[in-house]
Amino acid sequence: MKARHHLRTIVTSAVAISLGLTTAACGSSGGNSSSGRARVTFSYLWTGNEAKALEGIIAEFNKSQDKITVVGVSSPDFQKQLASMSAAKGTFDISDNFGNGVGSWASKGILTPLDSYIQADHVDTGDFVPAAMNQMKYKGHTYSLPIAVHDFELLYNKTEFAAAGISAPPTTMEDLATDIAKLTKVDASGNITQLGLGNPDTGTTMTTLGYAFGGTWDGPDGATPSPDNPANIAAVEFYRQNIIDKYGAAKVAKFTAGWGQYMSAQDPFYTGKVAMIIDGEWQPVSIPTTNPSLQWAVANIPYPAAKPNLAGTTQLTASTLFIPTNAAHKAEAFEFMKYLTGAAGMAAFTKALGNLPARTSLLDSNTYASIPQFSMWLQNLKNPNVHALASQPYSQQYSSDLATAFKSVLDGSKTPQDAMASVAAGAKQYPSS
C-alpha cells in the first residue's frame, strides 16, 4: 500500500513537472514583459553586422515606446521559421522573407493580411517602389511590407578596362559582347585566366539579362511562368554564345570552380579574375572594406541596340517584413513594422546594411551620400524598366527549375531553347493557387 502510494506520488510529480515545463516553454513567446509592455518577438534572418545594425534600430524603437518592447532574435534558419509558423502558437510575432516568397506563403495561409492595419493607420503604400509593392500582394490583399529593395547593375573593373583599351562601359548588348571578348584572357594551353563577364549568381544574372532583352519570366499577366519567352531565350543565348561557346563549357567550369568565396578578399571580381559582373547595391559597401584598392565603377545594364527603350532595365528583389497568422501580438507587431518601414526607420536600416530604401521618397535622400557610387542603384529605381519576379505559389519551384535549366546551358548539355522548354513543360504542373 505504501509502495503504491509512493509510485502515485512519483507519477503525479513527474506529470506536474512536465506540464510545468511545457507551460513555461509555451509561455516563453508572445507574453508581456515585467514592465507591463507587450513583448513582441522579432525573429530575423540577418546575422553579423546586419543583425547588429538591426538591434540598434530595435533599441531606438523600444526607447520611443511605453507599450511595446521588441525583442530581436537572429535566426538565419528558414526551416526553423517555417516550423514555428506551423504550430498553433508561434515563437515570434514578426519576421522577414524575400519578396518573391510572399505569394507562396500567403496562399498557404501563413501570413496575416495587413490591409486592415494599413487602412486603420493610414499607411501610404503609394510611396513604396511599385515593383516591390506588387510582390507584397497576393489576390488583391497585402501580406507584407518591403523594408529594403535591391536592384542589379553592371559593375566593371576600371583597371582592366584601361588595359584592354576600353574607354567607356558598354551601353548596348553588342558593345557588351565586344567587351567580353576583349576582357577575356586565355593562356597558351587554352585555360581561361580572366573572364570578361562573371555571374555571382547564375539565376539572378540570367533572369536580369532576360529582362534586359525585353523578356518577362511571369507572362503578360505577371502570374504565369513564361520561361520560353523569346527574349528570355535570346538572353540565355547571348551568354552562351559569348562565353560558353566561345571559350568552352569545360574551360569555363574549370575557371569558375577556382573562384574564391563571394564578397571575400578572394572574390573573383575583387581579384580581377572577372572584369564585369551584374550585381546589387551591397557591393559599394563591401568593396571598400574588403578590397579598397579595387578600381571599379558601375553602369546601367546594356540593352539591345535595336531596343533603346530598354535602357536602364533592371531586376528588383525585396526584403520584406510579415506577421505570421499564429503571432500573439499582431497589432503591436504592425506598430513595429510601421516604424521599420517608415522613412526614418527604413533610412537607418538600409544605410547600415547598404541596401536600397523601398520608399521612393528616400531615393534622393542625402542619407546615402557617403556610400560610393550608390546613386546609380538608387536612381535607377525610378526607371520604368524595373522588373521583379512574381510572388506566386509556384515561385519557389520555378526559381529552382530555372536554376537547373541555366546550369544545363552553362555546362553545355542543353541549348537555351531546350532548357527553357523543359522548364515550361514542368511549369504546367505547378500549383495554381
Partner 1 sequence: MVKRQHAVRRRQSLRGLAFASPYLVGFAIFIAWPVAASAWYSLTDFNLFQPPHFVGLGNYRHMLHDKVFWKSLTNTVYLTVVGVPLGLALSLIGALILNHPVRGQPLYRALVYLPTIVPVVVSGYLWRWLMNPQYGYIDELLRLLHLPQPLWLDDPAWGKPAVLLVTLWTVGGMTVIFLAALRNVPKELYEAAAMDGAGPIARFWHVTWPMISPVTLFQVIVSTIAYLQVFTQPYLLAQTRLNTSSAGPENSMLSYSMYLFQNAFVYLKMGYASAMAWVLFLVTMAVTVSILLNAKRWVHDGSR
Evaluate whether 358 touches 318 at the Cβ level (below 8 Å). Answer: yes
What are 241's three cell numbers? Answer: 554564345
Give the count of alpha carbons within 13 A of 326, CB side only.
Answer: 17
Q: CB of residue 209 vs partner 1: minimum separation in angstroms?
A: 18
Choose which of 120, 253, 265, 306 interacts with partner 1 (CB under 8 A): 253
**Does residue 275 interact with partner 1 by CB under 8 A?**
no
Helix or strand or coil: residue 224?
coil
**Does residue 344 interact with partner 1 by CB under 8 A?**
no
Size of the site for partner 1 (CB under 8 A): 31
**Does residue 34 interact with partner 1 by CB under 8 A?**
no
Evaluate whether 99 touches 135 at the Cβ level (below 8 Å). Answer: yes
Which residues make Cβ contacts (< 8 Å) with residue 363, sequence separation at least 6? Answer: 357, 378, 379, 381, 382
**Does residue 18 interact with partner 1 by CB under 8 A?**
no
Which residues within the stretch 357-416 sit at the binding site for partner 1 (CB under 8 A)? 396-397, 399-400, 403-404, 407-408, 411, 413
Choose which of 85, 133, 209, 310 interacts with partner 1 (CB under 8 A): 85
Which residues within the stretch 97-126 sit at the binding site for partner 1 (CB under 8 A)? 104, 108-110
Q: CB of residue 399 vs partner 1: minimum separation in angstroms?
A: 8
Closest residue by Cα to residue 316 from 154, 196, 208, 199 = 208
Choose which of 16, 250, 305, 306 interacts with partner 1 (CB under 8 A): 250
**Does residue 67 interact with partner 1 by CB under 8 A?**
no
Choose which of 201, 248, 421, 424 interacts with partner 1 (CB under 8 A): 201
Residue type, 285: V
The rounded distance, in Å, linking the Cα atoms of 424 and 148 is: 31
- CA 383 remoteness from chain centre: 19
**Does residue 188 interact with partner 1 by CB under 8 A?**
no
What are 64's three cell numbers? Answer: 520611443
Which residues make Cβ contacts (< 8 Å) with residue 299, sequence separation at least 6? Answer: 153, 154, 156, 169, 170, 171, 376
Q: CB of residue 137 vs partner 1: minimum separation in angstroms?
A: 19
**Does residue 74 interact with partner 1 by CB under 8 A?**
no
Which CB atom, from 61 or from 105, has the smaller least distance to partner 1? 105
Which CB atom, from 193 or from 309, has the smaller least distance to partner 1? 193
In the block, residue with C-alpha cell 557617403: 370
**Does residue 19 interact with partner 1 by CB under 8 A?**
no
Evaluate whether 127 touches 321 at the Cβ level (below 8 Å). Answer: no
Determine phi and psi for 62, rounding to 5 degrees.
-60, -35
Which CB atom, from 108 or from 185, has the smaller least distance to partner 1? 108
